[in-house]
Structure 1
Amino acid sequence: MQVKRKLLKSSIAALAFALLMIGALVPTGTLRAQNAATTQETITPLITKDLAGSASEQVLMYTVDFPPGFSSPIHRHNAQVSVYVLDGSVVMQVRGQKEVTLRPGQDFYEDPADIHTVSRNASKTKPAKFLVFMINKKGAPLVIPAK
């Protein structure tokens, strides 16, 4: 009886370990495949809080991941926007200003009236990631298409 119990325990432990390893490997492969195939930016919300002293505004913080070669269409935010590059490099430009290439640790500001004419990953082979801090009207869209 004791031998059967030990054998059963080691079989269960081996099965649990095998399932754990399969579970650890499958999602990683799936995520890599999805990320390699994506042609859209990924926006990850971090904070959304009401702005103290204002009944109509909120503070938002989120990260944006640009896949290699990604470029967003011309747009505006109708908000005060600060961008801080975390990884890779991005090219930014608002109408009437010069195009700038930003690397990790560099920042970019957009006024509510600015039209964001260039927003792209500077690399065709490496992803880029940046942090966005925005003061926006509650319920307003994050991005508005522009010409």
Structure 2
Amino acid sequence: MYKINIITLGKLKEKYWSDAEQEYLKRLSIFTKTNIIELKEEKFDEKSNHEVIKEKEAEKILKAIHKNSYVIVLDKEGKQFSSEELSKKIIEFKNSSTEISFVIGGPLGLAESILNIAKEKWSFSKLTFTHQMMRVILLEQIYRSFMISEDRKYHW
């Protein structure tokens, strides 16, 4: 069965993010199985070696990625899509029964080792978002993609 995994570092700390995430997971359940895989982020401060921290987080991410999953990382340098283009991409994955694993990095971003295994790099903006906010944005855009593909009214 087609499934979407969202692999992310850190937990949602504020209730409003959790509420939004749960709402979109509920909405998505009529279209696909969506899993949130939360990994513990490494603690760091300004004296920490950020590359070492990112590599430790990368080890956790690699363990969480299923063997045959199509890996897409969210990265500010990634490809940007219109809502209609994104919908076509998501539906292509669904129609081919491809399991997708989206990877959202922590505050330091993603290690090169993760960027290198990604089949695609996507960006939702040139702006930087918190990883908590990005989880909700990603879920909303996936939901919007399904609504567009079925020609259903959503936001108007």
TM-score, length-scaled by structure 2: 0.25
More strand by share: 1
- With normalisation by structure 1, the TM-score equals 0.26
